């Protein structure tokens, strides 16, 4: 069994991890400030995939980092520790729609839906993931899956892709949110993974990719 987790890490100026963060598969997203991850500098609104180990050091303005990890369900929580660092777990969900087993391959993706306007209508996805609000307001309603009302930056929710749902933005407003997802590898070429149960997609939105890698589970 494998689980997707989302952490919120705050770094004071010059703060850094110690020891390094160890996880099978990690995607780190910089919400504010800048960091150096495994020797590569990341500015605000960028992300990087890390395998096995992530060494993180904040820039002169500090940073807030959102960190998605795909790990075995029995792995302990992996809070960031070190000099001038605070960390907490925002969400943890075991992925149930797939048989995730060692040596199997999956697409681990972080992307963004932005300028989301209107209601999606009933739809599903070929993969599951943890979403995280950047700005705006989004209501998620599902008869079988989880429901949520997301209004603040950092509000997060889980979508088990096989459970149909409806997402709705406030009238006349837009919503931006990140999606840390686990998908079959063949979806690496597709930006829009939704299956529109009620016919043609009724809402409007734009899409941005931050990081995606076909990973092998250990």
pLDDT for the residue 196: 84
What is the rounded distance in angstroms from the CA atom of residue 142 to the CA atom of residue 166? 7
The domain made up of 2-94 has a fold known as: Jelly Rolls (2.60.120)
Mean pLDDT, contiguous 10-residue spans, the chain (218 residues): 98 95 96 98 98 97 98 97 95 96 97 94 95 97 97 98 94 95 96 79 86 97
pLDDT for the residue 215: 98
Show Cβ contacts of residue 139 under 8 Å, excluding neighbours closer than 6 positions: 148, 149, 150, 167, 168
The DSSP secondary structure of 152-206, one letter per residue, reads STT-EEEE-TTS-BEEEEPTT--EEEEEEEEE-GGGGG-S---EETTSS--SEEE
Q: Tokens 């919120």, residue? A: 8
Backbone torsion region of residue 151, taken as left when φ is above 0, otherwise alpha when ψ lies between -120 and 50, otherwise beta: alpha
Q: Tokens representing 69?
A: 């990890």
Q: Is the preceding omega at residue 83 within 30 degrees of 0, hence cis?
A: no
pLDDT for the residue 197: 87
CA angle at 176 for the pair 175 and 180, rounded to the nearest 5°: 135
Show Cβ contacts of residue 49 under 8 Å, excluding neighbours closer than 6 positions: 25, 26, 27, 108, 211, 212, 213
Q: Where are the domains of the chain?
A: 2-94, 105-216
Secondary structure of 62-95 in the HEC alphabet?
A: EEEEEEEEEEECCCCCCCCCEEEEEEEEEEEEEC
At the fourth CATH level, which superfamily is domain 105-216? Jelly Rolls (2.60.120.10)
pLDDT for the residue 201: 61
pLDDT for the residue 193: 85
The DSSP code for 20 is P
pLDDT for the residue 216: 98
Instruction: Evaluate whether 2-94 and 105-216 have a shared fold.
Output: yes
Q: Among 206, 181, 195, 185, which residue's Cα sits nearest to residue 27?
A: 181
What is the pTM (predicted TM-score) of this model?
0.96
pLDDT for the residue 202: 65
Q: Is the dihedral of CA 93, 99, 101, 107 positive or negative?
A: negative
Query: How many residues make up the chain in this entry?
Result: 218
């Amino acid at each position: 069994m494998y689980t997707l987790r989302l952490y919120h890490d705050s770094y004071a100026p010059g703060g850094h991890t110690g020891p390094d963060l160890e996880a099978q598969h990690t995607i780190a997203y910089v919400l504010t400030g800048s960091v150096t991850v495994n020797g590569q500098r990341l500015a605000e609104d960028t992300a990087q995939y890390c395998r096995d180990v992530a060494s993180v050091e904040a820039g002169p303005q500090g940073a807030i980092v959102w960190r998605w990890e795909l790990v075995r369900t029995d792995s302990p929580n992996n809070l960031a520790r070190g000099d001038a660092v605070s960390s907490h777990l925002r969400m943890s969900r075991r992925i149930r729609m797939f048989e995730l087993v060692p040596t199997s391959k999956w697409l681990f993706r972080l992307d963004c839906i932005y300028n989301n306007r209107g209601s999606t209508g009933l739809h599903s996805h070929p993969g599951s993931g943890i979403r995280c609000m950047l700005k705006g307001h989004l209501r998620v309603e599902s008869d079988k899956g989880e429901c949520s009302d997301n209004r603040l930056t950092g509000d997060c929710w889980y979508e088990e892709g096989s459970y149909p749902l409806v997402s709705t933005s406030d009238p006349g407003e837009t919503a931006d949110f990140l999606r840390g997802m686990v998908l079959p590898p063949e979806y690496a070429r597709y930006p829009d993974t939704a299956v529109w149960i009620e016919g043609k997609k009724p809402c409007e939105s734009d899409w941005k990719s931050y990081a995606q890698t076909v990973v092998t589970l250990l």
